[in-house]
Amino acid sequence: MSPRTESHALQVPASDAGQRLDAFLAAQGLPLSRSQLKRLIEEDRCLVNGEPARPAKKLRAGDRISLEVPPPAPADASPEAIPLAVLFEDEHLIVIDKPAGMVVHPAAGHASGTLVNALLGHCRELSGVGGTLRAGIVHRLDKLTSGVLVASKNDAAHLGLAAQFALHSVERRYLVVVQGALAPAAGTFDTLHGRHPTDRKRFTTRRLARGRRAVTHYRTLEALAGASLCEARLETGRTHQVRVHFADAGHPVLGDRVYGRAPAEPRLRELARQLGRQALHAQVLGFRHPVTGEALRFSSPPPADLAGLIAALREEPR
């Protein structure tokens, strides 16, 4: 039987009022280190009175805490001979065009066949900042999202790239097909972003008292039959950000089974079924080389499945 997520429910007694959240949890006898607890809190797996919180949150008497502990991931990642589409490589970095269907790093349920396994087989040496399971990984793409991704081969490159992502100075542009016609045709989603209060596998921008700021700039590139081809430029990079922003605006990404819905129009529904994934592609990634300072910019055309979807939608009557 596969391991399951563990759930813990706690209530803060008066004697612990004023304590930091991470310190309180560390004193509860859970089989987790303080650093593990901190990571779970930062991943929004810990709610205080139903809302995400930060590790340093000061607790009050009576606060109700819920903590989810996912099943353990494999202890290590092994090199695997998996082909990679390499866009750029030097002694510090490697930029690849990730196919849809590839998981970025090992986790519960995905012990092998990931991008990290492929990178270890190709490069042999990756930065260790993220640990062995996330070796070299500075940012991620969802399993069913294709496109450009950079990984680091040493710690200096990793830290330099991570600083650029933290400062929002990295250029990230996505090509996305969404349901319906957006009005206005261009604009900005600027919201709070956090885990859904009742479905912990999803994220939301709605009815959040607290959360992390998420900003996506979008513009419609072309009106299609029952859909829109858009460019989404990320200012921040929250989990599922593009998918959540468009879905919460009433225009889910076509083919998104988590945040979307089946289109009412039969032909559009069939095209989404044939695609078999969300119509989302990380088309452009631009940044400064963290060691040399050179300005780098990489782009990837939409893969065959997404290009085929767009072509089919262009041929449909509007």
Catalytic residues: 142
Question: Radius of gyration over alpha carbons of the chain, in Å?
Answer: 21
Task: Extract the tokens encoding 49.
Answer: 């009175």
Cα separation of 249 and 228, whole Å?
14
Total Cβ atoms within 10 A of residue 58: 12
Tokens (6 digits) for 316: 């449909």
- Angstrom distances, CA of residue 69 to CA of 32, 34, 37, 195: 9, 13, 9, 15
Q: Answer for the pair 278, 254: CB distance below 8 angstroms, yes or no.
A: yes
Question: Contact 103/143 with Cβ under 8 angstroms?
Answer: yes
Q: Is the Cβ–Cβ distance between 115 and 105 less than 8 Å?
A: yes
Q: How far apart are CA 316 and CA 263, in angstroms?
A: 15
Listed residue (189, 218, 219, 221) closest to 205, CA to CA: 189
| Diameter of the chain measured on Cα atoms | 68
Nearest to 311 by CA among 303, 185, 246: 303
Residue for token pair 């939608």: 313
Helix (H, G, I), strand (E, B) or coil at 231: strand
* Cα–Cα–Cα angle for 33, 34, 40, rounded to 5 degrees: 95
Stated as kind and residue range, the H or E segment containing 247 is helix 241-248
